[in-house]
Structure 1
Amino acid sequence: MMGFKGMSSGHPSTKGKETSSGEVSLEIHHIDVGQGDATLLLVRGADGGLTRSILIDAGRTGLQVIAYFEELKKRTGGFRKLDMVITSHYDSDHIGGFALLFGDEKYVQDDVIFYDLGRPANADTDYQNYENLVWLQEHRQRIPFGPILELSGITLTCLARNAAMAGSNAKRVWSFDAGGEVAPSQHIPPLDKNATSVALLLEFGSFRYFTAGDLCGFYEEGVVHFLHPYFLKDSSHVCAWKLGHHGANEASSQDVLRLMVPRLGVISCGADNVFGHPAPGTLLRLEELSKHEVCNYMATAKIVPETGMGFPIGQIPSGGHGSDGHGPIVISVTETQANAHMFSVRSKKSAEQVLQCGTRQPLSSSVKLEEHRVSGKRKQTEEGERAAKMRQEDRLKDILATLRSALATKLGDAPQVDLADLDVGAQLIRIAKRIYNQAAIDAREEWASNAFAKSALHGMMDKADVLKTLKKL
């Protein structure tokens, strides 16, 4: 049996049937879908029977999710048809599995609630395939801010979506890009799909769990800053969370870790993935955090030192606080644990372990958790550089198409420059500059202040290679 620093051993989970503890309990199943996300939330009543079943994302294919559901169904009281489904954002490794999963209605309740972000401005192929699902069209609604589940002392709250949070009243939203409250119609979501991710807080007694899809950087930090003091009322820290963006370096920053001070982190990633997840810097920050407050972390996949495309993946240090190759990872909380700052975690690799969470306060801003530069870092290969450029261009193509459309339809004009020989980044700059110049010339104040060019600009400002040039415009 494998153990972690700061964990006490419990008993292996019951495989044949679910037993009753005589009290309400909560389970968070991080399904192993490879490079993607799918999380199942189960609420049990005092008699041990399931009273709610909620799925957040479905991975890329849905095959692993269905296989996991079928495995749960073999246990007495192990599975309940889904009462609620939540789409965190529209990346294919989060929504691709819905087509297969909902091709058979045996996994969902007739009155299931399906929450997503609404229609995005840049409806790419991934989204169009998702939108065309007949089952989805009959059930979907945009996720509201605030509590979306309140049952038996368990609350699930939508903190943010589309880079906005609830405002001071129903007629206002807090826009991260605007830096303040605006009318909902004036908030323009960023074009970067990761930045639109839904942020959720799950509460049960003193237990707090945070998950936010692929939210990163400025947006993730913004949501976490709002956790204090608005949402963490009787507990000053997050007990467990799913690392943002599969453990990418731009997520789980030192500010995020200092404020949440989590006891456990779960990394959903694929073995030997081409994206370098989890990043070396992320794992180093987690180890630095444990010098102040212990934070164990677990990865669904086996973390290997090399990837097929030559990107560096973070390695768990010997004697560190992390472990990998777990497959599905399940966090469980009984009513007794929820009131005693405790919870349990188990996986196929590890028998159930009990974590003493205790009470924690946010770390001082003087505490530095920055990643350390490792000498002799592996140099990027030519193949890896080509792959990086391809991924960058894929992400920018939607923005480019939107800008060209904006120039043609909003300004009644088409680009007057030959763009064929320019790379995607250069095309973005040329067209964005043309839009803003034309808007200024025509004194179209409404267009310049609140129309599509602003949205396009926000989308590009999320791209490091374009940001510096845009600042010169």
Structure 2
Amino acid sequence: MTLLRRMRPNAVLLVLGAAIAAVWLVPAPHPGNTLSITVLDVGQGDAIVVHTPRGHTLIVDAGRSLGSDDEGRRVVLPYLRSQGIGRVDALLLTHPDDDHVGGATSILDRISVGRLIVSPVRSTAWHYVRALRTARRRHIPIVHVVRGEVIRFPDGVTAQVLNPPEDAPRHHEYRDNSLSIVLRVQFGRTAALLTGDADLPAERDMIAAGMPLRAEVLKLGHHGSKSSSSDEFLDAVRPRIAIVSAGLHNAFGHPHPTVLARLRARRISVYRTDYQGAVRVVSDGNGWQVRTAAALPALAPAALGTR
């Protein structure tokens, strides 16, 4: 309640008002009164599909580029078709790194997208620039968000922006993961935290700013890198479920054994796209269920440190 008073009302209406006019017109079929968040298996990258009870869809990141191909075309679009989703309310890019935006142009070019949501931080990264150009060419509105703004859906789902801060260097060159967009998706009494590549400085800043970090589900920052998921951050979030989006036997050693040890010490159930494929969490507003493409259970504590 306190944080809602601190929200910037004009900025909130920028997203909400435009969404009412242009985004919520054609909900996709979605049985049951549930929210689903699906972390797709895009290898060493991120692509997440948020689907609300009334069939509204928010995509968070679009996977990486693959030479002449990309994970947007190879994974995200086929998944949307398999779910009967023909329109996306919004595509949100947490930051300009290729493993998060490489598939964005394919999505923007091949399916109806209501708007493109990004931070105000400028970048000359090629695939990020291509995504912005594609949105402009297709007359897709581009919305810039910072901390304090809320994306609201008419079925009670909200996505609250916790990072980057309002004083982020607007329209300056993107240089580090501390400016990654972080979203807290809430439905009823349940919440999930989608952290992009937010790093330790971003975590410390969100804690210091009193952001509402508590969430039962945490998509680990930066693919489980040791540059994210500090003890202090995990204690602030207090998740029961952690999801790692990383490539099998990736060259970066993600998720890092130190992070896995922190999760093990807190008895947090861990799901990994490199082991279990796509991971879907489903909320009825009171609790979460987890489903994986490989139909495997959460990794036992003894297995969390193995690779």
Q: Is the 8 A contact 1:35 1:269 kept in 2?
A: yes
Structure 2 equivalent of residue 207 of structure 1: 190
* 1:202 shift after superposition: 0.6
Structure 1 equivalent of residue 161 of structure 2: 158
Structure 2 equivalent of residue 54 of structure 1: 58
Letter of the 1:70 counterpart: P
Letter of the 1:153 counterpart: G
5 Å matches for 1:296-445? 296-301=269-274, 325-334=275-284, 338-339=285-286, 342-350=287-295
CA distance in 2, matches of 1:352, 1:80: 31
Identity across aligned pairs (percent)?
Answer: 24
CA distance in 2, matches of 1:55, 1:157: 15
Structure 2 equivalent of residue 82 of structure 1: 88
Q: Is the 8 A contact 1:89 1:193 kept in 2?
A: no
Tell me the alpha carbon deviations over residues 136-174 of structure 1, each in whole angstroms, 9 at most, x when there is no partner: 67321212532112422211111222xx14xxxxxxx4x
CA distance in 2, matches of 1:71, 1:127: 22
CA distance in 2, matches of 1:283, 1:327: 18
Structure 2 equivalent of residue 432 of structure 1: none
5 Å matches for 1:269-284? 269-284=246-261
Unaligned runs of 5+ in 2: 1-28, 299-304
Letter of the 2:145 counterpart: I
Tell me the alpha carbon deviations over residues 119-149 of structure 1, each in whole angstroms, 9 at most, x when there is no partner: 51x5244443444335567321212532112
* 1:275 shift after superposition: 1.2
Structure 1 equivalent of residue 219 of structure 2: 242
CA distance in 2, matches of 1:134, 1:206: 35
Q: Is the 8 A contact 1:66 1:101 kept in 2?
A: no
Structure 1 equivalent of residue 78 of structure 2: 70
TM-score where L is the length of structure 1: 0.51
CA RMSD of the aligned region, Å?
2.7
Shift of the 118–300 alpha-carbon distance from structure 1 to 2, 3 Å rule, reads: same
Shift of the 67–114 alpha-carbon distance from structure 1 to 2, 3 Å rule, reads: same
Which of 201, 223, 237 aligns to 1:260? It is 237
CA distance in 2, matches of 1:137, 1:65: 18
TM-score where L is the length of structure 2: 0.77
Structure 1 equivalent of residue 212 of structure 2: 231
Matched, 1:30 2:39: yes
Unaligned runs of 5+ in 1: 1-17, 166-172, 176-185, 302-324, 354-373, 375-473
Q: Is the 8 A contact 1:85 1:115 kept in 2?
A: yes
Q: Is the 8 A contact 2:34 2:52 kept in 1?
A: yes
CA distance in 1, matches of 2:233, 2:248: 26
Shift of the 41–136 alpha-carbon distance from structure 1 to 2, 3 Å rule, reads: farther
CA distance in 1, matches of 2:272, 2:153: 30
Structure 2 equivalent of residue 392 of structure 1: none
Letter of the 1:269 counterpart: A
* 1:214 shift after superposition: 0.4
* 1:98 shift after superposition: 1.3
CA distance in 1, matches of 2:172, 2:134: 24
Letter of the 1:326 counterpart: Q
Shift of the 241–285 alpha-carbon distance from structure 1 to 2, 3 Å rule, reads: same
Aligned partner of residue 209 in structure 1, secondary structure: strand
Letter of the 1:151 counterpart: P
Q: Is the 8 A contact 1:91 1:193 kept in 2?
A: no
Structure 2 equivalent of residue 132 of structure 1: 133
CA distance in 2, matches of 1:125, 1:72: 25
* 1:39 shift after superposition: 0.4
* 1:79 shift after superposition: 2.1
Tell me the alpha carbon deviations over residues 281-309 of structure 1, each in whole angstroms, 9 at most, x when there is no partner: 1111111122xxxx1011101xxxxxxxx
* 1:67 shift after superposition: 3.7
Aligned partner of residue 33 in structure 1, secondary structure: coil
* 1:213 shift after superposition: 0.8
Structure 2 equivalent of residue 423 of structure 1: none
Q: Is the 8 A contact 1:224 1:260 kept in 2?
A: no
CA distance in 2, matches of 1:231, 1:153: 18
CA distance in 2, matches of 1:148, 1:238: 17
Structure with bigger RCO (C-alpha 8 Å, 6+ apart): 2
Tell me the alpha carbon deviations over residues 77-131 of structure 1, each in whole angstroms, 9 at most, x when there is no partner: x424101110100001111111222232xx224xx021112351x5244443444
Shift of the 148–156 alpha-carbon distance from structure 1 to 2, 3 Å rule, reads: same
Tell me the alpha carbon deviations over residues 30-64 of structure 1, each in whole angstroms, 9 at most, x when there is no partner: 0111100000000123xxxx2x1110110013435
Aligned partner of residue 99 in structure 1, secondary structure: helix
CA distance in 2, matches of 1:113, 1:64: 16
* 1:261 shift after superposition: 1.0
CA distance in 2, matches of 1:264, 1:87: 23
Q: Is the 8 A contact 2:223 2:255 kept in 1?
A: yes
CA distance in 1, matches of 2:82, 2:252: 35
* 1:192 shift after superposition: 2.4
Larger Rg: 1
Shift of the 57–136 alpha-carbon distance from structure 1 to 2, 3 Å rule, reads: farther
Structure 2 equivalent of residue 113 of structure 1: 115
Shift of the 279–66 alpha-carbon distance from structure 1 to 2, 3 Å rule, reads: same
Structure 1 equivalent of residue 8 of structure 2: none
Aligned partner of residue 34 in structure 1, secondary structure: coil
CA distance in 2, matches of 1:203, 1:128: 31
CA distance in 2, matches of 1:351, 1:135: 42
Aligned partner of residue 103 in structure 1, secondary structure: helix
Aligned partner of residue 271 in structure 2, secondary structure: strand
